Each structure stands twice: as C-alpha cells, then as structure tokens.
Structure 1
C-alpha cells in the first residue's frame, strides 16, 4: 500500500513542485520507504512508497519513460498471469519483480478497456499518456483502495489517496448539508460524493479520463459476477461438494494474497471469519496473530488466545482501556477523514495496527467481506421474525392508514419519510441505484431473492465503510490490509450460492437473536474441519466496546462550530442543546463537531486534542 497524488493543469504553466512536496508530508504515513516525483509542464505525479514486493530501489515510483508516467497503490494478485498472457511476446527488459512494472507496460501496449477486467486485486493508479496528453485515474472493482479527485478552477484536477492532502493546493468547499448528515454515517460508505462539494471519489469499478474535461467510464459492476448457469450448477451440488469447493476457493484467494517480500501477519478478533483465515493460512505459512483486548466485559481476547493455542501461533495483544478512547479520538478522526460514528472500533483497530508495525509487519490478512457475502449480520436473520413480533403494531398501522389523516397525525409517517428522503439525497440516492441490481436476480427463487439482494447492497454500502476504516486506521501505522473473502472468485462463488448455504436451520436454540437459524452456514461448515466447536459457533459480537454514546461534551465544545453556525444558536442555547439530546445523538454530533474543527476550522489536531480532553468526558 502506498500514497499517490498529483495534478493535471491544462494551462501548461510552471510546475507545482512545492505543492507535491507539501502533499508528500501529509501522506508520508502511507508510504515511509521512499518518496518520488515527476513534473512535466501541465502534469505532476508524486508517490509515497510502502515497499512490499521487490524491496530494492527498482520498485520506486513514479515509473516513467518517453511515452508515459505512472503511479500506483495496491496489489494485483494475478500480475504474473497477466505478464505471461499479455507481455510474453513483447520486447521488454523488466528491471523489477513488482506488479507495478507489469501494469506500467500493460498500459503502454494496450488500451485500459482491453485488460482492466482481468485485474484481480485492490488498486488505485494514475497514468499519463504524453502522446495523447491525457490522464487516467483508475480504481479497483470494489473500492478497496481510496482515490479522490478535486476539481479546481481553470480545468485543474488534483488527485490523492487522502482528502486532507488537498489542503496544501486548493480550497476545499465544505457542504454544510452533507456535513450535518454525516452524523448518519453517510459518507464513509458513499461511492461518489464526499462532505466537500468539489472533492469526489473515483467510484469503485470506474476510471476517469482527464483532458481538459473529466469523463467517467464504468468498467465493472458487482452484478457482472452473477451467472444464472453457475447458480443452477451450485443448486444441483451436494452440501459436502460445495463445502469443499468453497474451502478450495478461499484457500486459493489466501495463497494469492501472500505475495510479499516483507513480513506479514493476521488480524484476528476471535470471530469465525478471521479465525478461519488464520487456520487456512497456517496450512502453507506461519504468521503472527494480532488482536485488540478491549479491557472489560466486552473483551474477546480469550477467543483469540484459544485460536492462538490451537494453531500454535504467536498472538500479540493490544490492550485497549476506556481512557484511550478520548486519548486517541482526535488523531483517529484526522486520519479517518470522516466523523467516527459507524465504526467506533476504528480507535482500538488503530492500536492493533501500531502494534503490528512495531513488530516489523507491513501487511496483514483480515476477515472483512464474509458477513456481507454470506449474510452474517444478526439483524438480517431476525427480520424473519418481524411478522410475528410486530403483528399487533402492524394491525394498528393498517387501521390508522384506513382513516384519512389519522396515520399522519398519530404515527408521524411523513416525518419519518422526510428523514429518509434527506439521507437518500445526501447519499445521492446510492441505495436506489443499487436496488436496480434486483433485475439481475430473476433466475433466483422469489422467496430468497431479497436476501440475495441484501448481499449485493451490503457489498456496495456497508463494506465500503469497513474498507475505509481498515485503510485509514491501518495506514496510521503504514499497515496494508488484504481481504481473502474479497478475492474475485470467492465473491463470484458467494453471489451464485443458493441461500440455504448462507442461512441454515438447526433444531437447537442457536442464538437468542435468531433461534433455530445459523448464519454463514457454509463458512461454519468449512471451519468445523479446522477450528474447535466454540470458535465455529461463536456468536457475532462485532468488535464491541463502549462508544460515542459515552461521550459527554460540555456546551463550550460546540461554540463557534458547525452546529451553532448552521442552526444560528446563541451561546446560551448550547447548554439547552446538550441537555436535550439522548446520549447517542449527542455522541454523533460530538463526532461531527470534531470533524468540522479539524477539516473546516483547520484546528491542528494536537491543539484540538487538548481542547477535546478538557471539554469532553468519557463516562
């Protein structure tokens, strides 16, 4: 993993070397091993390298020749296959053992659209063709690697791995509406918009061409992996055959992600997904395990220790205490580049990353993606009982809706719809766009179609927030995360898997949240071969800890901030504001305020940290 940045200027003025030097300082945590730049009239490229393949200087970037310039962040796991398929008959003298160099030559010999579908990995890269005088910004199929661009006056475009680096080159236009609605966790799972009006994501599975104008092209959609014939073949197979196929597919994904000339490790939580990754990895390579011990009743460290003992692997524990929440909150918000709301466990996650870095590790395997693909979130299963649980309320709702005006006055349905409409607007109707994917599921039996759609939706919403967390909190300590459950063949297998192998039935009271139903059936089925029974059937806790609902800010923390200015509150109103809110809503607004102070008021994070620990308590 690295940091990439640069600009395109159609005016052909002198270069902006000083700008890229400033950006480099901001992105140094992403790539501390080397910094390189390129300037040529209207374009500039910069690269902060975290060396993982070919640790020599031959892998330093930008890559350049008389035709093109290239900077790249990520890993293409099948780069040797691509090298053989596309470049074996070309007169090329390779000087490194990196995937970077393979991509560099692919871009010279082929149009992007001819090979981009074959890339299996996580990547974000920028490429400038000197002959065409055109720049390309390209992001991987799932959006694992971040890539932002900023539209500036005069047709200028800047790009970077992190938004904060744009502060040194342009004014970021804060959108108050988007900022306030970031309290709903909107923008850490957005696929295009950010809280800034002039800063955008390169969307997952897209690339853009810049040549005075910005043109966007979609080269991949998740539904491209849906194959009705494959689904029918899966439906005809027996359970054990499918379990074996899944194990082989996941193991192959793990093997492909072990490419590294630098030390690697595995982040484990004690849950089944990371535990299975560790067990399968151990079959070919021993790695140290890393976990967070959230001291107190939420600790899952005993499960991680049990895994360590069973696999005979060393476990390194980061001990996270309650007082660390306020200690690390501002710094984590600065690196997160969004209010910390959806994933407050980002804070102990950052500590695990620092621990891994201290042990010399540069890349880790993690278990993200399994819950989205195999329906592992308890609320997805509890919905099956909604009809029974909500029966009386549904009857009342039906009656009120039969009487004109009664539902509006008693149930306040319009107020709820207004809130939903504003959130949808803030996310640019992302969920509505995703819902169009239902059209690709016509071959699936109607009674399981909605659940299969939920996988598609979570892979394009909630997963983005997890990837955002892992990238930002890992990069605090220059740690790259790799995701075996997100290997392309694993995803294709899961999207074409009949529902009964995701949600299974049992005759015992498995979980009080969804009795007699087992989530991630096929994952647990494979895990039975490799893990003890407790780990296989451990209930999902989701890295729990006390979170933002335990923050108690003083009214003075909001003085002069986004909430006071946007709502026109007087200083005397701030105490009423704080006293009137429930603890969770107050915590969310505290997160938004912290973000605003860092990214709009531009208060230095060290200064804000002192203000935060003095004016915000953790109770």
Structure 2
C-alpha cells in the first residue's frame, strides 16, 4: 500500500522537485518505507511506499518500463499479478522485480487502457507515457483505493491519494462547496465526484481519466455491476460461493510481510478468518475492538470464533481518551466525514499494526448479500407502498404525523417513507437529518447559496441506472455505488493507512460482486427479512450456529452517552464557542440541538457527531482561511 501524488507542469508551472517531495511527505503515513519522485517538462510524480511485495529496492517507485517509455506510480495490490506475469513472460516479456507494479507497466505497454479489465485488485494508478505525453489516472472497480484530482482547465491536472497533498499546491483555493456541506450533513460523507472543495473532485470507482497534452481530460467508466442473468439451484450457488470466496481469500494472503485479520465475531469477518485458517499452516493473527457498554461490545463473539480457529487473538477496549482520539480523526479524512465507527476502526488498525502489516477484513458482505437491517425495513415499506391505496396511506399518516414515541412513531416513519417514490424512500433511509432541521442549521449565506439544491440526486442517479429491477437489487446497487465507496471504504482506508496498515477485503473481489449480483434477490434476503441466506448456508460447515444466526450488531459506538460525558467538554467548545463556525452553521440552532440532547428530550448523537466532525475539520483545515 502506498501514497501517490503528482501534477502536469501546465497546471503548476513553478512545480519542482521540492513541491513533489512536499506532496509526498504530506501522505508519508501511507508509505513510510521508501520514496521517490519523477519530473520532466510535462509531468511530475511522487510516491511513498509501504513495502508488501518484493521488499528490495527493485520495487521502489516511480517505476520505469524496461524501454523507459512508461513511468508509473501505483497504490494498491493486484491479486492476479502472478498469472498475468506468467502470460506476459510466455510472450517474451522480461521482468526485473517480483512486483505487481512492473506487471501493470508491461500489461499497459501491450494493451493500453484495456489492461484495466485484466486487473483484479484494489488500486489507484498514475501512468505516464513519455513518448505521447499522455497521463492515465485510474481507480479500481469497487473504489477501495482513493484518488482525488484538481482540474484547472485543458490539460492542467494535479492529483493525489489524499486531499492534504493537493493543499501543498501553490495558491490552492480552499473555497468550500456549499452543496457538498449539505450532502455531508445528509449522508455523513460527501458522495463522489464532489469533495468539500469547489475545485477538487474524486475520481469515481471503476473510472479512468486520460489526459493528452493541450486537451481536456477524458473521463470514462470501464466496469459496472450487472444484475442480469442467473444461476442454477440454491445448493449449487452455496457451493460455488464457498469455493470462490476461498480463492479470493487465499490470493489476498500473498505477502512478504506479516499478515492477520480483523475479527468482530459477525458472519463476514468470521467467514474470512475461517477461510484463512483453512488456507494457512500457521495460526491466524486476529484483532478485535470492544466497549464497556455491552450494547456495542462484540468481543465475546469474536473470542469464541478465535477459540474455534485457534487464532493468536488480540483485543483493545475503547475507554480512555475518547476525546483525544476524536480530535485526531479530521486530520486523516481531510474533508468532513462522520461515520462514528471510524473511531474504533482507528484503534483496531493501531492494534493490528503492532503485529502485522496486512490485515484481511469482512467489508462488502452486507452490500453484496443484503446484510443490513435497513434492507428488511425497506422491504416492509415497499410492500406497504405497493399494497395500500395511496389515499388510505395518506390518511393513516395524517393520524400519526405528530407521534414521537413507541408504536405510533414507528407507524409515522413507515407511512412517511411508503408515501415516497422508492428512490426517495431509500434516500430517506440513508440520510440522517430531515430537511427542516437542516435548513435551520445552515447559516443564512449558505442557505441562500444552496436554495433549490437537491442532495437526493446522488441516490437517484444510481437507483435509476437499474430502473425496472426489483427493490432489493436497486438498494444493493445504490449502496455498492455510493455508501460502500463513499463511507465504508473511506473509513477503512484512512484509519488503516493512518497506521501504515494495508487492509484487504475478499468480499470485495469483483468476482464475488458479480457472482452475488447474478443471484436472485430471494436468496439474499427473504420477504420475512431473513438476511444473507446464501452466505449463511454456505458456511454452515465452517461456522457455528451461534455465529451464523445471531442478530447483526454493527460496528457502532455509544454516541448518545459520550456527548453527555466523555465528549461533552470538547463538543461544547467546538460547537458553541468557535466564532468561525458561524460562516457555515447557525449558532442559535446549534445551542438548541445541544440543549435538547443534554436534557434527553431528543437523542441527537449522530447529528452532534457530524456537527462536531465538521467543526474540528474546519478548525484544522480552514482556520484563518478566507472562505
């Protein structure tokens, strides 16, 4: 795993070796083992290396092709590089190193951009053709590895693994995009292609950007999830899934450094550990995070799985200096990000890094096989939407519209969502502040700038791409394209790379994604709400009933309690005593929300976390800047 950054000289005419080094050093935590820069009259490239394969100097980047024509900087891992290398060697290609990086170079020299279809892995790539002057930026199918870029018109481009490298550019304009702030407060993250800055974009997953001298960049999608087709019997699908996931796990265990796994005790991480144990001659190293609050603590389940597979198990309990860790988070995310499970992910990554350099994780199981509780709730809402006449539904809603507790409150939520079209209903499920309160929270100048803006467009854009599909398929596709790369994978990448730890996810192998997409929705989640049916059935021989069938707990933290205790002093200062926050948020409404939470009138934990993360981010990155 690594960090990459660079620019075209047309974008930064004063750009030199020193600037490249500063851009690289800003993301040194992503790759502390080696560094390198390349600069000619067209392009500058910077690389920071976390050595995983071929630890020798032959693996250092920027790496040149044998003929010197191509130069690459690469962040990620290509899991099928040995097969690709053997194919190329059969055609007479010679290699100097044992790296996957050199395989990408040779494959590009042969196939051009089409080589992206052959790569199975996680990656962000910048590849420069010194002969034609073309620069290729590319990102993996699922979006495991990040890539940001600034476009100043024509061929003026700067790019990096993290936004903090772009802040090193001379005269970088930190102007906040107001609609991105709205997106953030609704979703808790900023969906691609936006960033918090007006002039910087995320390269979307499964896309490449090709830049020729003097021309505008060409942005294209090279892969998408296809939910058409089918398979044989459920029993056949279960066998195929187990075999395929075993192969996807085994190829992620190739490393020249120590390797382990995150273990929560849930189905997905337990399945990965089971397959690792089956493929390894040595005990698997596992790591878990726990909380004093038992409602959020999964360590007893993780302990059972660790005992079952005789792993070398380590645990860490999050109970000290919660405020201190909270203040660290904005530095690593570079833009507002409010998934509170980032905090335990930070700690489990720190714990894992003490023993290993690579950790496998269970990310992607929920999005592929319908594991989230929200999917079951959405199916009930959609059933009501389809079966109950709209006039009757509207009348029922009017009877419970003011309800705030118990069964009536749940009835209000159900009828509100059922009255919306399906895409908007799912948008409501996936967002965390209602429009009325959001409008009140925004400072008047921001409110004027975003008048008429609709953040639901991010959900609709993906939902409509599978128009005509069943409700489960539309939900899974939308989450695979938005929530997974925008939230889950950002969280894991930044918190693991904060500790120079590489995380690999077998469930996110594109072959698993494509396999799951072809399965009938009823094999993923039943009409009664039973989730991950085909996955649970596949692992009946490897995992105990207690693991396969316990209720999903999720990687959550006790935010409501923390804001009344451990986080209260920090949040009070950040939200109520910072005058610069008034550029964005209304202080009177902030005080009202804070007071409602402290008195217990309304549980605002998630909203307060998003507001706190924004306040800490703007203190860290905008203090003293003109916005």
Q: Do they superpose with TM above 0.5?
A: yes
**2:303 equivalent to 1:287:** no
In structure 1, what is the Cα distance between the partners aligned to 2:204 and 2:451? 19
C-alpha RMSD over aligned residues: 3.2
Q: Give the deviation of 1:575 after TM superposition.
A: 4.6
Structure 1 pair 189/534, CA: closer, same or farther in 2 (3 Å)?
A: farther
Unaligned runs of 5+ in 1: 403-410, 442-448, 506-515, 604-619
In structure 2, what is the Cα distance between the partners aligned to 1:135 and 1:387? 46
Question: How big is each residue's C-alpha offset from its partner over 1:444-494, in whole Å with a ceiling of 9 and x where there is no partner?
Answer: xxxxx1112211111111111100000000001011111111112211110
Trace 1:7-86 onto structure 2 (pairs within 5 A): 7-10=7-10, 13=13, 15-64=15-64, 66-86=68-88
Unaligned runs of 5+ in 2: 399-415, 421-432, 440-446
In structure 1, what is the Cα distance between the partners aligned to 2:589 and 2:531? 48
**2:354 equivalent to 1:358:** yes
Question: How big is each residue's C-alpha offset from its partner over 1:353-372, in whole Å with a ceiling of 9 and x where there is no partner?
Answer: 1111111x111111111101
Trace 1:263-274 onto structure 2 (pairs within 5 A): 263-274=258-269
**2:459 equivalent to 1:431:** yes
- The equivalent residue for 2:429 is none
Q: Give the deviation of 1:400 after TM superposition.
A: 9.2
Q: Give the deviation of 1:276 after TM superposition.
A: 0.7
Moved more, 141-150 or 381-390: 381-390
Structure 1 pair 438/562, CA: closer, same or farther in 2 (3 Å)?
A: farther
- The equivalent residue for 2:494 is 472
Q: Give the deviation of 1:107 after TM superposition.
A: 1.9
Q: Give the deviation of 1:294 after TM superposition.
A: 1.8
Q: Give the deviation of 1:383 after TM superposition.
A: 3.2
In structure 1, what is the Cα distance between the partners aligned to 2:185 and 2:272? 32
- The equivalent residue for 1:345 is 341
Secondary structure, counterpart of 1:554 in structure 2: helix
Secondary structure, counterpart of 1:222 in structure 2: coil
Structure 1 pair 70/187, CA: closer, same or farther in 2 (3 Å)?
A: farther
In structure 2, what is the Cα distance between the partners aligned to 1:61 and 1:16? 18
In structure 2, what is the Cα distance between the partners aligned to 1:461 and 1:86? 36
Secondary structure, counterpart of 1:283 in structure 2: helix
TM normalised by structure 2 equals 0.83
- The equivalent residue for 1:509 is none
Secondary structure, counterpart of 1:136 in structure 2: strand
Question: How big is each residue's C-alpha offset from its partner over 1:489-513, in whole Å with a ceiling of 9 and x where there is no partner?
Answer: 21111000012211247xxxxxxxx
In structure 2, what is the Cα distance between the partners aligned to 1:54 and 1:482? 18
**2:508 equivalent to 1:519:** no
Equivalent of residue 584 in structure 2, options 554, 563, 566: 566
Trace 1:363-512 onto structure 2 (pairs within 5 A): 363-386=358-381, 398-399=394-395, 425=453, 429-439=457-467, 441=469, 449-464=470-485, 465-504=487-526
In structure 2, what is the Cα distance between the partners aligned to 1:392 and 1:105? 60
Secondary structure, counterpart of 1:541 in structure 2: coil
User: Is the CA contact 2:575–2:611 (under 8 Å) kept in the aligned structure 1?
Assistant: no
In structure 2, what is the Cα distance between the partners aligned to 1:496 and 1:531? 25
User: Is the CA contact 1:174–1:600 (under 8 Å) kept in the aligned structure 2?
Assistant: no
- The equivalent residue for 1:315 is 313
User: Is the CA contact 1:550–1:587 (under 8 Å) kept in the aligned structure 2?
Assistant: no
Structure 1 pair 397/82, CA: closer, same or farther in 2 (3 Å)?
A: same
Secondary structure, counterpart of 1:138 in structure 2: strand
Structure 1 pair 423/546, CA: closer, same or farther in 2 (3 Å)?
A: farther
In structure 2, what is the Cα distance between the partners aligned to 1:520 and 1:377? 9
User: Is the CA contact 1:37–1:44 (under 8 Å) kept in the aligned structure 2?
Assistant: yes
Q: Give the deviation of 1:594 after TM superposition.
A: 1.2
User: Is the CA contact 1:366–1:481 (under 8 Å) kept in the aligned structure 2?
Assistant: yes
In structure 1, what is the Cα distance between the partners aligned to 2:589 and 2:79? 56
TM normalised by structure 1 equals 0.84
- The equivalent residue for 1:103 is 104
Count of aligned pairs between the two proteins: 564
User: Is the CA contact 1:10–1:156 (under 8 Å) kept in the aligned structure 2?
Assistant: yes
In structure 2, what is the Cα distance between the partners aligned to 1:99 and 1:596? 39
Q: Give the deviation of 1:401 after TM superposition.
A: 10
Equivalent of residue 592 in structure 1, options 597, 610, 614: 614
User: Is the CA contact 2:183–2:191 (under 8 Å) kept in the aligned structure 1?
Assistant: no
